[in-house]
Structures are given as structure tokens and as C-alpha cells.
A = this chain, B = another copy of it.
Amino acid sequence: MENYRHLFPDLEEGLQREMQEKGRVLAVKAGQVLIQSGQNIRNTMIVLDGLIKLYRENDEGNEFFMYHLHPGDGCALSLICDRSFKLSSVTAKAVADSVLLVVPLEHTENWMRQYRTWYHFVVGTYRRRYEELLETIDHIAFQNMDERLEFYLRRHRQALNTNVLEITNTQIAQELNSSREVISRLMKKLSEDGKVRLLKNGIEILKL
């Protein structure tokens, strides 16, 4: 945890110490599922390193990409659980090898009243995620697949900080709840427009 203090410049000294004492550092492998849909939440999770992806899932096994969590981000759903240990309705999966700080919920509720900076952290987290969800709704509600695909690519380029995304059309189709063929065709169009280049095992983003 000491190595990660730079991620939380706004959190006060005492709080940082408590995070170190009460929290457990957990390393996870790329691809590992952290929270399964329908599982109880008993811990707050904060990303220290790596990258986490959050999905919404439904009964029939369809999934839908919500947003990424970067180092310094907390998982909104697990930050405030109101003691009721509600069921989680999303799936969190590590995109890259990642490191998490796991803190039992009983501590974080105390921090909420004890540390003004923690309150700001939680409030900021929730608000950002809420607005990110709103943005997602905008896209599904108002836009066509081609625009949504471009947005998806931009988002992923930014999150992974690379112009080359090693990802299959099948995977994209799943996360946008579309079908491989549709993505394939749209991708061809993007390529013809010079917006991306199709590599043999991924996509290079040229200008989006």
C-alpha cells in the first residue's frame, strides 16, 4: 500500500494509515473475475494497479460493458453498501494483471464520518460512475451501432493507453450486445474510412 500513496494525494494522513492497517492488498491475474453477478459484497475495493472492467449481465448470459476502473478508482457499488449487503448486479473482471486494496465494509462506514476526505472520495466516485452510466444510456438510447462502436474504441484506447487494441470482433460484439457479423462489417467500413487499420490480431486506431 505504501507504494500506492501517490494515487490518493487528497486523502488525509490518518486515513492513509488506516487504509494501510485495515486493508488487504490483493493481486489478481488478467481475466480473473472479481465480483460475480449476484454475489454479496462485504468489502470495499479500490484499484491500486492494473485495469478492471465492469459489465452488466442479464439472466440469459448477455453482457454489456459499463466502464473501466483505473488505479485510484474505487468500485462504486462496493463503496457504499449501507450495511444491507445487497446483491451485486454487475460483474467485475481484471483486464490486465491488477492489484486491489480490499477493506471490510465496517471500516469504511466509520471513515465516512471520520474523514472528510474519504467522504469526498466516495461522493466523487459515485458521481463519476453515475454520470458514466448516464453517458452509456445516451449511447444505447440515441446512437446507432457505428457511432457506438467508435465510442467503444475511443474509450478503450484511452483506458489502455494504446492505439493497438488486441481484441476480437466477437468480444466487442458481446460487450456492445451486438453480433460479430455486424461488428465485422462496421469495422471494415471504419477501415475503409481510414479510421482504423485491421491487424492480424487486433485493431490499430488511426484517427477517431
Nearest-CB distance from A41 to chain B (Å)?
Answer: 11
Partner of A138, one of B58, B77, B124, B131: B58
Q: Does A2 contact B (CB under 8 A)?
A: no
| Residue of A62, A77, A80, A124 with highest tally of chain B CB at under 10 A | A80
B residues in contact with A81, CB < 8 Å: 127
Query: How many A residues, CB 8 Å from partner?
Result: 35
B residues in contact with A188, CB < 8 Å: none
Selecting from A21-29, A111-119, A179-187, A199-207, the interface stretch reads: A111-119
Per the bound structure, the CA–CA distance linking A113 and B123 in Å amounts to 12
Q: Does A152 contact B (CB under 8 A)?
A: no
- Chain A: residues with CB nearer than 8 A to chain B? 56, 58, 60, 62, 64, 66, 76-77, 80-82, 86, 89-90, 112-113, 116, 119-120, 123-124, 126-127, 129-131, 133-134, 136-138, 140-142, 177
- 9 A-B pairs closest in CB distance: A80-B123, A140-B140, A64-B141, A133-B133, A141-B177, A82-B123, A58-B142, A126-B126, A82-B124
